[in-house]
Amino acid sequence: MPSPSRAVAVEKSGTAARYLPQNPSDWTLVEIKKRAARCRACPLYKLGTQTVFGEGSPHARIVMVGEQPGGQEDVQGRPFVGPAGKLLDRALAEAGIDRADIYLTNTVKHFKWVGAGRRRLNKKANAREIAACRPWLEAELAIIKPGIVVALGATAAQALLGKTFRVTQARGRPFRDTRWAPLVFATVHPSSILRAFTEDRTSAFARFVADLKAVRSHL
């Protein structure tokens, strides 16, 4: 589990850290986003149309962290604007969480894909790519200083809570005084609900909403 210290340590070797100022928390999200647009820390910039940085208020009480942008996010340059994002919007509304309270971002800022005819299919980011991109996420959290961080899916949860963390075993539970925020929650990524069999989607969505209601109860 992560250290209780909230100090954000940025590794300098082989990562996006070289694009960041010495103290990212002294900067603004707008300034950091401009730097991220030029990131070449890993080869994914060659696949993605553009860097897809986080979006939301710099004073957000909740930061939600997904895995990586998808195809529509890659084209629009904004996180969570595709089908998974629309499902997330619906779940947030049912859970009673105001989008104005949220900053949305991803562990990896470029779209990783493989071609299938004319389609671009998501491909899971590897450990090297996640590590290379990590300083951007650390900078976002250092600037915002949220009260709650919500990891959406296994990639985000393990990036924040350790490689042995299992979302299926600990979803919807608060982890206190982590280095990232006073409270960290983990739940499934909304895209996993879209991939579920039709007859399972209703129950999967209801459980997702229940996890988000647990988050709301700590606001």
CATH of the domain at 189: 3.40.470.10
pLDDT above 90 (res 51): yes
Helix, coil or strand: residue 49: coil
Question: Is 72 contained in some domain?
Answer: yes
Q: Is 28 among the domain residues?
A: yes
Of 111, 108, 107, 133, residue with least CA distance to 47: 111
**Mean predicted lDDT score pLDDT of the chain:** 92
Could you read off the pLDDT of 184-197 as tens digits, one per residue?
Answer: 999 999 999 999 98
Kindly state whether residue 11 falls inside one of the protein's structural domains: no
Amino acid at 1: M
Mean local confidence (pLDDT), 61-71? 97
Asked whether residue 10 is domain-assigned, the answer is no
Please say whether the dihedral angle defined by the alpha carbons of residues 194, 180, 131 and 45, taken in this order, is positive or negative: positive
Does residue 4 sit within a domain?
no
Of 92, 99, 101, residue with least CA distance to 58? 101
Query: In which element (H, E) is residue 123 found?
Result: none
Give domain status of residue 5, yes or no.
no
Q: What is the pLDDT of residue 186?
A: 98
Number of structural domains found in the chain: 1
Range of weakest confidence among 19-23, 124-128, 179-183, 188-192: 19-23
pLDDT of residue 5: 34
Residue 158 resides in a domain: yes
Ranges 23-27, 30-34, 41-45: which has the least confidence: 23-27
Helices (H), the chain: 29-36, 71-76, 83-95, 127-144, 154-161, 167-170, 190-195, 198-216
Whether 1 maps to a domain, the answer reads no
Is-contact 194 83, C-beta < 8 A?
yes
CA 95/CA 38 separation, integer angstroms: 37
Show the domain range for 137.
Answer: 16-216
